[in-house]
């Protein structure tokens, strides 16, 4: 069994997932709405893979989020939906009307369950037993009759209690501790658990693991301990291995019980709502009992059933889901284009404020005191407004990092490896648009580290390492960029092996290439050094997609590798902020803007301090370090009207870990500038990342410092 730990600045028990609840509820609602639309427009005769995959992705997203936050009733129902949709998209089943009906009803039930969690309702929720039974029957290829809903002639003023047939109880299993499917019924007690969140995290270890079946938490009489009811085919040793990452082995006690009928999801003695219980126990803050377990109170007395719900198509847009109370929204979902328009308008306000500030400098403070005071207030309020608007699109990297521990755990288990997963810099914020686009490339990199980088435990021991490898995912701001690194302490890459494979592919390589150039070969389309093709990696797809996706974001990918000791992949992305702090420099009659975060220092030099080396390259010595010199006058072919004047001011800039010196005529000062995209209005210009409008109405180019550094290397 693979070991996967997640470490960060604080312990796992202290990490509060509730801060992400609202985001999950909103995204889950959007996914359920989208799934409903796609189901209603699905043509059963000509359904294609893209439509079925789209519906599957919606259910999968809701299930993953619900499992992460401990909403096990929603996760269980959407897991069943996912099983049916998986059969459909694999063409093992043909879609029919009964399947669409049960999926639509399940989506409605999921909305109701989510609404209860969102409002903190701890009462009995809608039963999903019948939905689960029908879905399982459809997955098994059986024909299921769709419940007939009688049309309602006029609105009813009160809910009608409708009797349902009692649930039949299966006969006891023939032998203690096992059922006809070979599953064992266990009670697992975990002592010394810090919080309910910790218990919820443990429950998620069970989900989707081969050999493990149904699991739910039941009340425990011992203070500070949790009691789990498990139906499984796994051995006790496997279960102990499963828990050992979160709790000490001696704190886990496993008791074998007589098997319960799986179809009825019955209660244990003392559980809330069980026969003979005088009063239900207090529900935890986040309910963890599956809705199926809450549905059956007695096997003899008929229970009132919820009024059947019509198909989702009949529900008006925005209406409350059946069986649940529509909660008051704590946030508003706003289209991205509206946010972008707001940011653009604030940018124009900043430009106007800069113009007013510049034109007011010549005013006499004694005569225009009130006006200048108002302009000072405008400056302060404009800056506060700008910072508030810019923060709307920024989200923490923890949103991205949170999806990797589970993926890595499953992957390590499949590969038979032991891996520690460490995250750093989760609070680093990035633009929402970039976060969405960087997730897939990072997934490829983490999977490759686990598959190609980390060795098997036996191989690591032979190499003198601990049998558990470490993969570290970190994010940090550096200058005007965000740097995301994926590091592992695995076997690294073999220079000879990559060159050999490149020659087989017909690539133009030589033994004189630097290590950095050799590592870049793995980004060639179809390049793979895997000796065995698996479903994890080795098909030669992935790394070229990673490079292409990051390049499309104006980012770069750098690799460092030490054979036998591990490797590091660094992804550097620009912070696409609409407003930035910049330094204005003058060259001739032109004004250029340098991102202030890239500027290290500036100084004045004499012309004889610059040395010319081969191919007209220039160097200048700054405190015992030689740096390449770039003359902006030559780069942008600035016309020089004052032929006697020469640039004598040098500005040191840093980008991508290197420093260069820019030769300019004068420093004009620091100011906030509004970034305008040149590509959408004109075309991409080399060495330029955008443009801005100055306080006097002139247009100034914002320089791409990373491109200038790369230019100096060549």
Place of tokens 């029957």: 137
Please tell me the predicted confidence (pLDDT) of residue 298.
33
Confidence of residue 374 (pLDDT cuts 50, 70, 90): very high
SS (H, E, C) 597-648: HHEEEEEECCHHHEEECHHHCEEEEECCEEEEEEEHHHHCCCCCCCCCCCCC
Confidence of residue 153 (pLDDT cuts 50, 70, 90): very low
Please tell me the predicted confidence (pLDDT) of residue 530.
56
Please tell me the predicted confidence (pLDDT) of residue 371.
92
Q: Which residues, listed in sequence order, are joined to residue 77 by a DSSP beta bridge?
A: none
Better-scored residue on pLDDT, 267 or 239 = 239
Domain ranges of the chain: 4-147, 336-392, 396-574, 579-713
- Whole-angstrom CA distances from 578 to 67, 340, 384, 387, 698 are 36, 9, 15, 11, 18
Task: Report which of 191, 271, 196, 264 is spatially closest to residue 229, judged by C-alpha positions.
Answer: 271
Architecture of domain 4-147: Up-down Bundle (1.20)
Q: Strands of 699-703's sheet, edge to edge?
A: 666-674, 579-587, 590-595, 699-703, 688-693
Better-scored residue on pLDDT, 245 or 316 = 245
Distance from chain centroid for Cα 336: 18
Q: Is the CB of residue 498 less than 8 Å from the CB of residue 514?
A: no
Confidence of residue 439 (pLDDT cuts 50, 70, 90): confident
Confidence of residue 26 (pLDDT cuts 50, 70, 90): confident
Please tell me the predicted confidence (pLDDT) of residue 538.
42
Q: Directed axis angle between helix 21-40 and helix 49-68, to 10°?
A: 160
Answer whether residue 709 shows pLDDT above 90: no
User: Judging by beta carbons within 10 Å of its beta carbon (0-12, 13-18, 19+), is residue 188 exposed, middle or buried?
Assistant: buried
Answer whether residue 286 shows pLDDT above 70: no
Digit-coded pLDDT (tens) for 116-141: 888 887 777 778 888 999 999 898 88
Please tell me the predicted confidence (pLDDT) of residue 486.
94
Q: Is 313 helix (H, G, I), strand (E, B) or coil?
A: helix
Please tell me the predicted confidence (pLDDT) of residue 308.
38
Answer whether residue 263 shows pLDDT above 60: no
Average pLDDT over residues 541-553: 74
Alpha helices in 17-69 (DSSP H): 21-40, 49-68
Q: Is the CB of residue 415 less than 8 Å from the CB of residue 376?
A: no
Q: Within 10 A of 486 (CB to CB), how many other CB atoms are there?
A: 22
Q: What angle do CA 84, 90, 92 make, to 5 degrees?
A: 70
Please tell me the predicted confidence (pLDDT) of residue 259.
43
Q: Strands of 252-257's sheet, edge to edge?
A: 212-218, 226-232, 184-190, 252-257
Tokens of 598: 């890239």
- Across all residues in the chain, what is the average pLDDT? 74
What is the rounded distance in angstroms from the CA atom of residue 233 to the CA atom of residue 212? 6
Task: Report which of 446, 459, 442, 453 is spatially closest to residue 494, judged by C-alpha positions.
Answer: 453
Q: What is the DSSP letter of 712?
A: H
Answer whether residue 292 shows pLDDT above 80: no
Sign of the alpha-carbon torsion through 275, 67, 535, 55: positive
User: Judging by beta carbons within 10 Å of its beta carbon (0-12, 13-18, 19+), is residue 703 exposed, middle or buried?
Assistant: buried
Tokens of 610: 């610059």
Tokens of 624: 């015992």
* Superfamily the domain 579-713 falls into: CheA-289, Domain 4 (2.40.50.180)
Please tell me the predicted confidence (pLDDT) of residue 592.
93
What is the rounded distance in angstroms from the CA atom of residue 646 to the CA atom of residue 483? 37
Most confident of 145-159, 219-233, 463-477: 463-477
Digit-coded pLDDT (tens) for 166-209: 333 333 333 344 455 567 777 888 776 656 666 666 666 655 45
Q: What is the DSSP letter of 307?
A: P
Both ends of the chain: CA-CA distance in Å? Answer: 50
Please tell me the predicted confidence (pLDDT) of residue 519.
86
Better-scored residue on pLDDT, 326 or 410 = 410
Please tell me the predicted confidence (pLDDT) of residue 175.
38
Answer whether residue 304 shows pLDDT above 50: no
Across 110-119, 465-474, 681-690, least confident range: 681-690
Architecture of domain 396-574: 2-Layer Sandwich (3.30)
Digit-coded pLDDT (tens) for 510-523: 888 888 888 888 88
Strand bridging mode 418-424 / 468-478: parallel
Strand bridging mode 4-7 / 418-424: parallel
Confidence of residue 610 (pLDDT cuts 50, 70, 90): confident
Phi and psi at 345, nearest 5°, equal -65, -40
Please tell me the predicted confidence (pLDDT) of residue 433.
75
């Amino acid at each position: 069994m693979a070991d996967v730990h997640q470490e960060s600045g604080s312990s796992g028990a202290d990490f509060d997932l509730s801060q992400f609840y609202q985001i999950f509820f909103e995204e889950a609602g959007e996914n359920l709405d989208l799934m409903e639309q796609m189901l209603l427009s699905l043509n059963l005769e000509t359904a294609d893979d893209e439509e079925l995959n789209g519906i599957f992705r919606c259910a999968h997203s809701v299930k993953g989020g619900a499992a992460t936050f401990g909403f096990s009733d929603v996760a269980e129902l959407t897991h069943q939906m996912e099983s049916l949709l998986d059969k459909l998209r694999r063409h093992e089943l043909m879609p029919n009307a009964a399947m669409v009906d049960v999926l639509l009803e399940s989506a409605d039930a999921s909305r109701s369950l989510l609404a209860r969690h969102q409002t903190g309702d701890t009462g009995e929720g809608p039963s999903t037993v019948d939905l689960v039974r029908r879905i399982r029957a459809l997955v098994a290829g059986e024909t299921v009759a769709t419940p007939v809903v009688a049309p309602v002639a006029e609105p009813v003023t009160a809910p009608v209690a409708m009797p349902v047939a009692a649930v039949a109880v299966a006969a006891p299993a023939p032998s203690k501790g096992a059922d006809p499917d070979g599953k064992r019924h266990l009670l697992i007690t975990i002592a010394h658990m810090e919080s309910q969140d910790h218990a919820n995290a443990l429950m998620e270890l069970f989900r989707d693991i081969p050999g493990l079946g149904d699991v739910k938490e039941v009340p425990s009489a011992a203070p500070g301990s949790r009691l789990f009811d498990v139906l499984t085919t796994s051995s006790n040793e496997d279960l102990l291995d499963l828990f050992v990452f979160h709790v000490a082995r001696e704190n886990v006690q496993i008791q074998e019980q007589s098997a319960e009928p799986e179809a009825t999801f019955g209660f244990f003695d003392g559980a809330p709502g069980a026969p003979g219980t005088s009063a239900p126990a207090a529900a935890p803050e986040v309910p963890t009992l599956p809705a199926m377990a809450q549905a059956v109170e007695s096997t003899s007395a008929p229970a009132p059933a919820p009024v059947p719900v019509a198909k989702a198509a009949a529900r008006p847009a925005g209406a409350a889901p059946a069986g649940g109370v529509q909660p008051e929204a704590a946030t508003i979902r706003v289209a991205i284009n509206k946010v972008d328009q707001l940011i653009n308008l604030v940018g124009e306000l900043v430009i106007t404020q800069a113009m007013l500030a510049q034109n007011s400098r010549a005013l006499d403070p004694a005569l225009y005191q009130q006006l200048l005071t108002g302009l000072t207030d405008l400056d302060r309020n404009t800056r506060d407004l700008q910072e508030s608007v810019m923060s709307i699109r920024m989200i923490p990297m923890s949103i991205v990092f949170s999806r990797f521990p589970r993926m890595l755990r499953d992957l390590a288990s499949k590969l038979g490896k032991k891996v520690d997963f460490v995250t750093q810099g989760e609070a680093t914020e990035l633009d929402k648009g970039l976060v969405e686009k960087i997730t897939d490339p990072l997934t490829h990199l983490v999977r490759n580290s686990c598959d190609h980088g980390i060795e098997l435990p036996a191989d690591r021991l032979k190499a003198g390492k601990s049998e558990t490898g470490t993969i570290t995912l970190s994010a940090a701001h550096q200058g005007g960029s965000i740097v995301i690194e994926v590091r592992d302490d695995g076997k690294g890459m073999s220079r000879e092996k990559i060159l050999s494979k490149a020659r087989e592919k017909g690539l133009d390589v030589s033994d004189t290439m630097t290590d950095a150039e050799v590592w870049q070969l793995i980004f060639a389309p179809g390049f793979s050094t895997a000796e065995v093709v698996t479903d994890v990696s080795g098909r030669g797809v992935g790394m070229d997609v990673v490079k292409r996706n990051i390049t499309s974001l104006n980012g770069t990918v750098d690799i460092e590798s030490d054979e036998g000791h591990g490797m590091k992949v660094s992804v550097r992305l620009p912070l696409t902020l609409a407003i930035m702090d910049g330094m204005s420099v003058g060259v001739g009659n032109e004004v250029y803007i340098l991102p202030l975060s890239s500027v290290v220092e500036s100084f004045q030099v004499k012309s004889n301090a610059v040395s010319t080396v081969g191919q007209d390259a220039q160097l200048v010595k700054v405190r015992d370090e030689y740096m390449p010199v770039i003359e902006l006058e030559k780069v942008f072919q600035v016309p020089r009207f004052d032929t006697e004047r020469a640039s004598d001011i040098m500005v040191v800039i840093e980008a991508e870990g290197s420093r260069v010196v820019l030769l300019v005529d004068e420093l004009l000062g620091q100011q906030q500038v509004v970034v305008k995209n040149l590509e959408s209005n004109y075309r991409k210009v080399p060495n330029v990342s955008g443009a801005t409008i100055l306080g006097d109405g002139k247009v100034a180019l914002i320089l791409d410092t990373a491109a200038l550094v790369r230019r100096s290397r060549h």
